[in-house]
């Protein structure tokens, strides 16, 4: 399966449009549409920007097996990142001082939850 087919599947999975991906990645819609129509390989910088915008490893979009260099722990970390990517993106969008406060609030919530389990 080619790069663009994998991108299309990821967009469908996320309920995103090409237009949204274009805005998030900075890759022009015309570039994406042309490449998809031709089923051509993307330019390296476009592929990197698209993978980054989707929050997934470039290797997965290129069809490179990650098993050669991914450990079970790496896979777990990637799954966690994908699960909580929206929270991370939200934290990154606020000023540093507020990030610290948000982090402390999350830590307090986790501590309260742990106490309630006991």
Instruction: For residue 4, give both structure tokens.
Output: 């663009």
Mean predicted confidence (pLDDT) in 34-46: 89
Mean pLDDT of the chain: 86
Closest CA to 48 of 40, 39, 57: 57
Q: Is 15 left (phi over 0), alpha (psi -120 to 50) or beta?
A: left
Looking from the CA of 19 toward its CB, the CA atoms found within 13 Å total 0
What pLDDT is recorded for position 45?
92
What is the pTM for the complete model shown? Answer: 0.55
**Residue reference for tokens 């570039």:** 31
User: pLDDT of 73-87, one tens digit each?
Assistant: 777 787 888 888 888
Say how far apart CA 69 and CA 78 lie, in whole Å.
13
């Amino acid at each position: 399966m080619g790069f663009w087919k994998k991108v299309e599947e990821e967009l469908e999975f996320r309920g995103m449009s090409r237009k949204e991906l274009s805005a998030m990645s900075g890759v022009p819609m015309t570039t994406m549409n042309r490449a998809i129509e031709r089923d051509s390989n993307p330019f390296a910088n476009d592929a990197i920007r698209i993978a980054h915008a989707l929050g997934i490893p470039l290797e997965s979009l290129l069809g490179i097996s990650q098993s050669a260099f991914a450990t079970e722990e790496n896979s777990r970390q990637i799954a966690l990142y994908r699960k909580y990517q929206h929270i991370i993106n939200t934290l990154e969008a606020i000023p540093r001082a507020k990030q610290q406060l948000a982090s402390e609030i999350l830590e307090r919530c986790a501590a309260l939850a742990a106490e309630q389990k006991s």
